[in-house]
Amino acid sequence: AIEKTFLMVKPDGVKRQVIGDIIDRFERRGFVLRGAKLMNVPRELAEKHYEEHKEKPFFNELVDFITSGPVFAMVWEGENIIKLARVMMGATKPEEAQPGTIRGDYAVTISENVIHGSDSPSSAEREIKLWFNDELV
């Protein structure tokens, strides 16, 4: 089915100037960009975004990191994109991220891992609403 998902280049990816490469990878796959913005993340938005991790020991580190510099928030659309984007991103654990994936090509730590992508249809819906109200084309 045609789906929408929320993807975000994290502060490390913005600093390393890989936004263009990331957009290129998704466009080459045939996915369509529906919304995008470069933005600083208010702490309240970061905490809402990561609310499922509220009880984890790394929650504060996560919020500190995502608010440490601008992110590039995006909504993408395409066939089965929620799952396929996760495959293109690569695994969260650096030792499991295959070369050729975004994380496998760029990241060596679990926290500074360049990109976020919604992990299910329900989180995609929630995250798109949270980051883009009615701003999609």
Please identify, using beta-carbon distances, which residue of 68 and 111 lies nearer to ligand CMP.
111
Among 33, 92, 105, 130, binds ligand CMP (CB under 6 A): 92
Q: Confirm whether residue 109 is marked as ligand binding.
A: no
Judge contact between 24 and 30, C-beta under 8 A.
no
116 flagged as catalytic? yes
Segment interacting with ligand CMP, rule: CB under 6 A, options 15-23, 69-77, 78-86, 108-116: 108-116
Find the shortest distance in angstroms from Cβ 83 to ligand CMP. Answer: 14
Quick note: the x/- pattern for ligand CMP over 32-61, rule CB under 6 A, is ---------------------x----x--x
Q: Confirm whether residue 103 is marked as ligand binding.
A: yes
| Tokens 């496998």 found at | 104
Q: How many CA atoms lie within 13 A of 10 on its CB side?
A: 22
* DSSP state letter for 92: S
* DSSP state letter for 94: G
Judge contact between 104 and 95, C-beta under 8 A.
no
For residue 20, the surrounding DSSP H or E stretch is helix 19-29
**Residue 86 sits in the site that holds ligand CMP (CB under 6 A):** no
Q: What share of the chain is helix, strand, coil (3-state, %, to 5)?
A: 45, 20, 35
Binding site for ligand CMP (CB under 6 A): 53, 58, 61-62, 92, 110-111, 113, 116
Give the active site residues: 116
